[in-house]
Structure 1
């Protein structure tokens, strides 16, 4: 996997960048595995235990190299530094790594409320429970965390590999979504494995794993766009699910696909008990219904009434051939158990009545359709007619020829039937809404007032549709729009530029808007001034410079009502004021100082040069062969004197 490791290292930052487009709070971690360091999984030859292959590190079970961290560069560095090793047989100890990565919550630093993804990448098969016997390891895997301070799995050679059911159990318990990213040769094996582990999926890697980023994005999209309900109910409890996915009609399914952020789905569960368990300890059960991969759940405390004293002979509530049952049945626990050949709530119908044909009872007149339940499951068929059950609450009624209508089985909003008496009333299992309200549960205001953008006057800013007097935003080319009026797109260019003029005029009294224009145009939000500006989750940071080159910062987000919330840093970050006179004098002084320094250097250099020339002259003069005290070419001048008084003579 050396080439795959190098590729993953280079793609680490790209992976973080792509995931940032989906969620702004994304963290990466990294760990690696080989296999148990005993025969026959790895070679125990001393040299092979040190270097199992050329330029390979010593084999190991599992190492957590990096706990979950926001810095993608550290992830890339840790992946690059991860040692490449080798084992002896074809399968690897990947199950040990998966188990430790899931159960070691503190060491891996899993966050409680985050969606958890575990990407498992390999080009080989896996060992599972029972394979440890080949190496003399018979102690079953305990499913506990065994990482030391260095992140090394300490029980690799002490206990067996986990089983598939153990991996499935801890994945469900800790709400981990597993993604198996494997090569083509292993694709079919891990595809079947993904079907056995709840909340997992499988994707195929290219030869050097260069498509891992796209694979993670695709698999993450599949996971986050689907909501599937699961439960831990056991026989004889049976739970059937019905769902309304994105406003569609109700279907018998436990999952909804193709969902996006903001979509609403409804699930309805029907719980039935086929028979009472033989063991009385199983008559009380606690059942959990939960969405796969999420940490929410619905807990149901189910009590089965399987044994009543009044069902036994001798009890005062047990009476054979009772008058309450027309003498044709046993009255027990307030209900008639009719003798053979009789039926009805009081055993008043027998084979001699017109309802009985050929010694059997014809109940077709009590069914609304051939496939529907007798009296819609809300009454008893008495001599060919439905007798609807009475409710404990006198305000709740069951009506209709087939007991098909109720005034209590309509949709509820905020816990109230049809949104309460002010919104609507329940008529034959359907809500009849009062004027001003609409929807299946009368929860929607029949108006579009809250969908009109006050600044533009457009319905949902032209980026969505108005449903229930609330905007349902569209998804454009740049991203999905959000906000009360679909005026914002978190991964688009954002609202920094449109909000800038209003922030300037509201907080700093500067900018292009006059005070009057500010009051007229800046009505969408009121800026909140804070001393220390910290960007929180769901907010976007905006930074600008004003006309004085002062930098100001603000963040914007949305409250529970989808109204924009803007927080502005109180202090402007302005450049220091310039002392022009000081700068000019300083420049002049610097020029003068530089000139003097240059002159001084020139003087020093010329002095040194002259001295060197004079020394060379002196040296040459000392070496001359003539008398240095007299110039050899000098001739004494000849002087001629004449006496003017001398006339010459003999």
Structure 2
């Protein structure tokens, strides 16, 4: 028990800690976001105090004259940066968002019919808000006890509903009694509808219009009332005993097609506020009972009714809808608007066959308290149906408002409902009498419009109670309303000084109205200072003066901006060894202009080839190109075999020994692959010597003459610079192999073969001896273990043998 309590306390502590940390992080993120916003990036084409405070809710404006001229700092920036650059608080325009509750009556239950319940708290608030700012406040709802309910029963009285009318008349008192159990402050009304009395909705024959039974003979055996569009049978009243009487007295009628004119009836019930008797502070309920579908806008054209429904009340003295034959049916949008305007709640009690149709209708009416239920064939379940659907509607709270995007205002909602977790929602369910639900409402001003003051209404659907938000959007600066200097000298007497800057008059534009635009606007002049439509003015590196860019100065006097749009500079070029253009050129609009003798993107390449000369005096050994002081060996042809710093390495190239060998063989020994003509073309003449010279600059070679198999030696000296060579060959020294000893080789091979044969024969003899010995031992063992009668040899076999024919002597079938 104690451990469980400790775990619960620990869980609560962790939850609270995480919540606090999350809130702190969100607040810190919001502050950081405001702090990091670049207010000074306000576009110059709309550089005013009003535009500054509308740019972001963290932006402020300095209205002091000459502020920008003194420190080259923009007037639109954060308050901290403006103060840092010398703008006093008396010159800073920074309107603050604020809120004030102006009416906050406590929540109260319904006591008597005359008293008003209070279900929303507070009731009114005043908000001053800047564009791009947000304001949060709480709205609490509590469902009051015995809250007034006005229920109007709207019934289809076509012939197919005759059983339902009879049952409803019987259950009228039960309905009133059941609703009084829910609330003591209850009123009840009754109305009926058929359809428009014109073809193709109703039979044009007057005789057939009053005939509710059509047998095979053309004589009517059952008469009914003439059809009508809608009739208010009983306005809302506390005398609920009249309900059964009025339902009983209502006459059944008939029409031609299946859909009915229910939309006309709903529109009149909601529009005729005084006739029906709707109370302002009451939950308005309309029970719509039918077994068929409905006509809607456009269907009236089938009868030539092209005038749209005007959504107004048109009931005569007897309660009939008198514009049924003049106007079309209402549209879904008109119906939705009227339901929201009247704050009504609809219960569609329909036959099972029409259930899906009315579910679609319910879904087509967003932000409206409505429900759909199946009505029994004779409406016997109407009392339970109304009670259940009323509880569903009354226990579901949907907060709605009249804010829209065109006003630049946006409302969002969060609530815990009856739980512990805050969620983004404006709907709470299962709210019973006495339950309190708090919604956290966030008001955001997205942008400014011409209108500055708004009255927003927030409240639950189906109720007239609303919470009013009187909103004033602060889109203007106080300095623009006062301290205006007309035709100021600071503006060259060509404009007014407003909030520290010039508002030029006539065709004059510019910072001090110094430019005569000749009919061009300031925006048009600024456009001349843009390289592209998306580019900033003067690339953000200068100011536009009368359509021409004046580039800003740099702290380093050697660094400068240049170009028509200040797009160039002399310090943003490629570097080498931390030097711009390697110190061998000048920076010109992002590109290096190299001095004589230097090249490359960063002027880091010398044009001299001294560092690329190889030992033979050739550039890159004749097998590459000198680029930027380094050899780059060629990758095509014979040159592709060379590599190394100076393209002097060739692993696959033949050596001089191989190259000179044919010439040495033909000249000295008259052997080899060369004939006399080819030998005469050799680039050198061999020098026969008795001893080959030995030095560091000579190379020794040797080869084998295929004619006699002897090895010969020679040395050569090659001077690449002089392009000459000297070859010495040893005239006496050669190494020849001795004669082959044929007889010893033959005798040795023969002796080896004989010796191998003797060894194999001895090995076979040894294996045979071992096998025979093992077999004899096995025989001796079997003989020693044998047991038989000594009088008869077990291996003896008689000389005569008897055989029996297996088929002989068998009985034939």
Q: Normalising by structure 2, report the TM-score.
A: 0.37
Larger Rg: 2
